[in-house]
Structure 1
Amino acid sequence: MELKFNGLPEGMAFYMPEKARSLDLLKNTGQNILESFGYEPLYVPALLPYSLVCSGVEKEKVKNYYKLIDYQGDILVLRPEMTSAIASLVAREQDNITFPARFYYYSSVYRHETTQSGKDREIYQLGAERFGGSEDADIEILLLIQKIIEAAGLDDFQVEVGNISFLEEVFVSLDLEQNLVKKLKVKLASRDLVGYRNICLELEKDKKDKLLKLLELRGGPEIFAKAEKIIGSNNKSLEHLKKIYSSLKLINMAERINFDLTLMRNLDYYTGIVFEVMSPNLGYNICGGGRYDKLLSRFGVESIPAVGFAIGMERLRLAVNGGQSLDRSSKIKIYLEDVNDLDKSFELIDELQDKGFETLIEYENLKVDNIDADEIIIKIDDIFAVFIEKEERNFERIAEVLEYVRTELENSNA
C-alpha cells in the first residue's frame, strides 16, 4: 500500500539542514555561556505523570496540554514546560544535591497555542534553573540572558522586568476580593489592558485610581518614585528591583533593562521577580522566566528559593537576521569522483577527515552551475567545493590543492 504524506499535525514542523544548523549554532552558543557560569546539563523525560504536571494548574491551561493514556490506563502528559518537572527532580534528589545548584537544558516542550510564525506547538527551549542562594541570583540570571541573546547576534532587544510580589501587595492594600484579583491577573498576563481598564472603571474611585496608575509604571528607574506613591516607601519588592538595576549598571548591563510593574506570567508559581525579553523584530517574547520560591512545596518538601528562564530558540532564530542562516563561517567540502575501487576511496576519505575536511564520494550528479572542467576549486556561497578526479587522486597533488584552499579560506575570513 502506498503511503501518502498528508501533512503534519498543526504546529509541528520538520527542520531542513539550514534551519537545523542555525538552531544548533544558537544552542551551542548558549550552552557554552551557561557552562562558563557553572550550570550543568539535565535531561527531562518527554512523558510525565498527569498529577505531576497538572497539580495546582488551572483547568483552562490544562486544556492546552497534550495528554495520552498508556497501556496501564495512566494519564500521561507531554511536558508543557520544564520548570515544574525539574523542581520535582530537585525535591526528590535534594539530599544528593549541593546547593546552590545550577542546571540547564535544551529540550522540546509541547503546548496547544494559536499557531503563527515562531509560535509552534513543539517549542525548542534552552533554559536554566538555579536552586538555593539569595535573591541576588536574579542578577546572575538577567546577566546570563543578555549574554546569551547578544552572543546569538541579536542587538535590538529589551528585558522587561517586573515583580509579582509588588502587585500582590498592591492588591492586598486595596482589600480586593480574590475573584477580582484573579480577573485582573488574567487581563495583565494576556496584556489585555483594555479589559483591565474596563474592570477598574467599575470599582470605587480610590481603588480604580490606584489600579489604573499601575499602568503608568513602565520605563526606567524613574518609575520607582511613582510606585512608592501607590505602595509607600521602603517597599521590599521595589528595593530589590533597585538593587538589580544598580548591580547591572555597574557592569554596563542595565541599558536593556525596562521595568514594567504590571508584568504577569501565565504560570501561577512565580513569587517575585518576573521578566520577558522582547524585540521589535517579533510581536511576542523571545524569553521568559522569574522567581518561584514556593514551587518545591507542591512536591511535599520544604521550599528552596529558585529562579530560572527559558529561551524559545525558534523565536530567537527568527529575531536574529529575520530567520536567515546564522552559520556564516566558510567551509571546505571535498568531492571525490566515484571510482570502482572503494577501498582506496575510503582510505582517502579517512585521511582527509582526520585533517578536518568534510569529504564526499560521487559528485557526477552534483547540481552546480557552470563548473569549468579545468577547475577543481569552486567557491559556492560560503563553501569551497574541491573536486578531485581519480587521475589526480594522489596525496602530493591533494596536499597542493588543500594548501591553496586554506590560503583562500584565510583570505576570505580576513
Structure 2
Amino acid sequence: MPTKEPVKGMRDILPDEMRLRNDVLAAMRNVYGSFGFEQIETPCMERIENLQSNQGGDNEKLVFKVLKRGEKLAKAVQTSRVDELSDAGMRYDLTVPLARYYARNSEKLPLPFKAMQIGPVWRADNPQQGRYRQFYQADIDILGDESPNAEIELVCATSLFLKQMGIAHRVRINDRRLLAALAATCGFEADRYSDVFVVMDKLDKIGVDGVCGELRSIGCTEESVDTYRRILEDFGEAPDKLAYCERALSAHVEAATLESLRAIESGVTALTRGACVPRLDLSLVRGMGYYTGTIFEVESPEFGSSIAGGGRYDRMVGEFAGKSVPACGFSVGFERIIQVLLEKAQTEESEDRIAVLYERGQTIEQITRLQEEYQPLREAGKTVLLQKKARNFARQKERLAAAGYGQIIVAHDDSAKG
C-alpha cells in the first residue's frame, strides 16, 4: 500500500521555503558570477570506484550504493560478494565529481577554470534535526591557479554573498603545512600526524584539556602534549599570529607558506575594504584528508557551527587527470543558511507580493479580465496571486500572510484586506 511519507532522512519542501531557496540561489549565482565563476553540472551518480578512492574522508562510509542491473546483477548475486553488487553510487559531495569532470573536459575549459556547482548530494547518515540524507551543496572552485589569488577570490566572493544575505560572519584560516610544522615542533611521530590532526580537530568541542587527554590516550608523549599546549597558549596571546608562527615553528615551516597566508590576509582585507579580515587560527584543522595547503572556515554568531569552509586540494584532480593540477574550493552551508533566513522571514511580509481574491461564482471571462488588470504588475516584477475567496476568509488571510503576501485585495471591493 502506498504511503504519503517521504523516504527516511528526506523531505518535501513547501512553497514558502522553495521561494526563499530560489531567491538565495539567484543571489549566489549573481555574486559568484560577478567574479567570473561559471556554473556547471555533474551527474547525481558517480562510478563507485571514484566514490571510494580514499579521497572523500569519512563521507566514503556514507555512500548510497546503486545496484547493478539485469544480467550483471544476477551474476554478482551468484558470487555472494557484497562488494560486487554495486557499480555506482549517489554523490556525497561536489568536489570528487568536479575533479573527474575537469580531468575529462579540461581541454575544452579555460585555464584557470572557475567553477560554480549547486545541487543535491546524498549521504547515508543518521538523520536528525537539521540533518538530512539528501541536501543541497553550493561550491565554488578554482582549478589551475597555484597562487594565493585563488584563495583571495574564493573568500571575497563568499563574504560578499553572505553580506548580501545579511549574515554577519568572520573567516578563520590556517594551512595544513603549518599544522604539519606544529606537529613536528611538538615532536609527534610523523606517521601519526593524521591521528593527531583528528584529535586536534575536536578542540572547539572538548577544549584544550580534552584534546591533550585524547592525545595522551593515543600514545603521544607527555613532552609532546605539553609543548602543544604551550604553543597554543602563546599563539593565543601573540599580537601578530604569523610572526609568532615564524619564530616558534621556524625549524619546520617554509617561508612560502607564511608568505601565502600573509598575502591572503592582506588581499582579502583590501578587496573587501576591511569588511572581512581573515584571522589565522592554529587550531583550525578541517577533517578532509585531501587538503594540501590553505584551509578556511566561516563562522556566524547566528549559527552554532561554521556555515562555509574549504581549502586547497592540489593532488585530487591529478588522481583523475594523471598530471598535477592546483585546485582550491569553497563550500557554503546552503541548508543552514536557508534555515536561519526562514526563521527571519516568518515575521516579514512583502508589499511586492499581492493576493487578489475574487468572489465565488465569477465566470471565466470575469476572471480573465482580472488577470489582464493585474498583469502589468507582474510585468513590473511584482508577484500577483489570483485566487478564489474562501468561505473561511480569516483562515485564508492567515495563510496568505504566512506566505509573505503583504497586500490581500478582494476584487471589486474598494476595501483592501490585510
TM-score when normalising by structure 2: 0.80
Cα displacement (A) at 1:57 = 3.8
Q: Structure 2 CA distance, aligned partners of 1:178 and 1:280?
A: 37
Cα displacement (A) at 1:116 = 4.5
Which is helix-richer, 1 or 2?
2
- Opposite residue 346 of structure 1, the aligned amino acid is T
Match for residue 278 of structure 2 among 251, 257, 262: 257
Match for residue 336 of structure 1 among 346, 350, 358: 358
Q: Structure 1 CA distance, aligned partners of 2:371 and 2:281?
A: 58
SS at the partner of 2:394? coil
Contact 2:293 2:311 in 1 (8 A): yes
1:165 aligned onto 2:182:
no
Match for residue 52 of structure 1?
50
Per-residue Cα deviation, 1:222-265 (whole angstroms, up to 9, x for no partner): 22233223311863222211121122232433655222123222
- Opposite residue 374 of structure 2, the aligned amino acid is L
Match for residue 20 of structure 1 among 14, 18, 21: 18
Match for residue 345 of structure 1?
367
Farther-moved stretch of structure 1 (215-224 vs 20-29)? 215-224
Match for residue 367 of structure 1?
393
Match for residue 213 of structure 2?
198
1:226 aligned onto 2:238:
no
Match for residue 308 of structure 1 among 329, 348, 362: 329
Q: Structure 2 CA distance, aligned partners of 1:180 and 1:380?
A: 54
Match for residue 228 of structure 2?
211
Taking a change above 3 Å as real, the CA distance of residues 22 and 169 of structure 1, as seen in their structure-2 partners, is same
Match for residue 256 of structure 2?
236
Q: Structure 2 CA distance, aligned partners of 1:188 and 1:50?
A: 31
Contact 2:135 2:335 in 1 (8 A): yes
Match for residue 149 of structure 2?
136
Correspondence list, 1:396-407, <5 A: none
Farther-moved stretch of structure 1 (333-342 vs 263-272)? 333-342
Cα displacement (A) at 1:384 = 1.0
Q: Structure 2 CA distance, aligned partners of 1:59 and 1:291?
A: 15
Match for residue 111 of structure 1?
123
Q: Structure 2 CA distance, aligned partners of 1:288 and 1:166?
A: 18
Contact 1:128 1:308 in 2 (8 A): yes
Cα displacement (A) at 1:311 = 1.0
Contact 2:314 2:328 in 1 (8 A): yes
Taking a change above 3 Å as real, the CA distance of residues 220 and 85 of structure 1, as seen in their structure-2 partners, is farther
Q: Structure 2 CA distance, aligned partners of 1:107 and 1:235?
A: 39
Q: CA RMSD in A?
A: 3.3
Taking a change above 3 Å as real, the CA distance of residues 59 and 22 of structure 1, as seen in their structure-2 partners, is closer
Match for residue 152 of structure 1?
165
SS at the partner of 1:368? helix
Per-residue Cα deviation, 1:299-329 (whole angstroms, up to 9, x for no partner): 1421221111111122113344745448653
Contact 2:55 2:316 in 1 (8 A): no
Match for residue 387 of structure 1?
410
Cα displacement (A) at 1:120 = 2.7
Matched residues, percent identical? 23
Q: Structure 2 CA distance, aligned partners of 1:262 and 1:328?
A: 42
SS at the partner of 1:281? coil
Correspondence list, 1:1-20, <5 A: 3-5=2-4, 7-20=5-18
Taking a change above 3 Å as real, the CA distance of residues 379 and 91 of structure 1, as seen in their structure-2 partners, is closer
SS at the partner of 2:335? helix
Q: Structure 1 CA distance, aligned partners of 2:127 and 2:105?
A: 37
Per-residue Cα deviation, 1:343-396 (whole angstroms, up to 9, x for no partner): 45235425533541514242234633699xxxxxx999752112114xx8xxxx
Match for residue 302 of structure 2?
281
Farther-moved stretch of structure 1 (198-207 vs 255-264)? 198-207
Q: Structure 1 CA distance, aligned partners of 2:201 and 2:340?
A: 22
Cα displacement (A) at 1:270 = 0.9
Q: Structure 2 CA distance, aligned partners of 1:32 and 1:59?
A: 32
Taking a change above 3 Å as real, the CA distance of residues 178 and 231 of structure 1, as seen in their structure-2 partners, is closer
Contact 1:219 1:259 in 2 (8 A): no
1:37 aligned onto 2:31:
no
Gaps of 5+ in 1: 372-377, 393-400, 410-414
Match for residue 318 of structure 1 among 339, 343, 346: 339
Taking a change above 3 Å as real, the CA distance of residues 67 and 380 of structure 1, as seen in their structure-2 partners, is closer
Q: Structure 1 CA distance, aligned partners of 2:139 and 2:268?
A: 21
- Opposite residue 44 of structure 1, the aligned amino acid is T
- Opposite residue 24 of structure 1, the aligned amino acid is N
Q: Structure 2 CA distance, aligned partners of 1:335 and 1:311?
A: 40
Taking a change above 3 Å as real, the CA distance of residues 198 and 145 of structure 1, as seen in their structure-2 partners, is same
SS at the partner of 2:136? strand
Taking a change above 3 Å as real, the CA distance of residues 90 and 262 of structure 1, as seen in their structure-2 partners, is same
- Opposite residue 393 of structure 2, the aligned amino acid is K
Q: Structure 1 CA distance, aligned partners of 2:403 and 2:13?
A: 22
TM-score when normalising by structure 1: 0.81
Farther-moved stretch of structure 1 (141-150 vs 300-309)? 300-309
Cα displacement (A) at 1:287 = 0.8
Q: Structure 2 CA distance, aligned partners of 1:380 and 1:103?
A: 34
Per-residue Cα deviation, 1:54-101 (whole angstroms, up to 9, x for no partner): 212478542222222141444322111101101110111111111111
Match for residue 246 of structure 1 among 266, 269, 273: 266
Q: Structure 2 CA distance, aligned partners of 1:172 and 1:121?
A: 39
Gaps of 5+ in 2: 74-85
